[in-house]
Amino acid sequence: MDEKNISSVLEKWNLVAKTRKQLENIEEALKIKIKTFMKERNWDKYFDEDSKINITISIQKRQNMDKEQLKNMLTEAQLLQIMTESSFEKMTIMTPEARERMKKYVKKK
Residues 4-60 pLDDT 10s: 888 888 889 889 989 999 999 999 999 999 999 999 999 999 999 999 999 999 988
Q: Are residues 36 and 53 in the same domain?
A: no
Evaluate if pTM is beyond 0.85. no
Q: Are residues 33 and 50 in the same domain?
A: no
What is the tens place of the pLDDT at every residue in 48-71?
999 999 999 998 888 887 777 777
Q: Which residue segment(s) compose the domain that 28 sits in?
A: 1-42
CA angle 60, 63, 69 (to 5 degrees): 165
Q: Are residues 56 and 105 in the same domain?
A: yes
Q: Are residues 60 and 88 in the same domain?
A: yes
Q: Are residues 28 and 67 in the same domain?
A: no
